[in-house]
Structure 1
Amino acid sequence: MTAAEAGHWAERAGARRLLLTHFWPGTDRGAAAEEARAEFGGEVLVAEEDLAIAL
């Protein structure tokens, strides 16, 4: 799924945050986050290697 599609479905689901993960090598993560933000009004996070998030 694209970042825009992830944002769309997160918005439809009523999510508060979206974490983008599993990028293809060479993907511009900043551009992917912007694509998701165009579809999703909540917080968009971008996974990086060794990222740890407390739940």
Structure 2
Amino acid sequence: MADRTRLSAELLAALLDVQERTRVSLDDIELADALADRLLARRRDRLHLAAAT
């Protein structure tokens, strides 16, 4: 859970930086959380696949 929270925060900061914004919306938070979930799931899948071969 800590990894997901940390990644979500980093993604949110990057999103605001790229869009040159200083204020965050609920949509931004939800997008960062969803991206963090997907990225961590993909990482888990890659690790499981690597361990299986």
Q: Same fold (TM over 0.5)?
A: no
| Structure-2-length-normalised TM-score | 0.29
TM-score (normalised: structure 1): 0.29
- Give the structure with the larger helix fraction: 2
Q: Which structure has the larger Rg?
A: 2
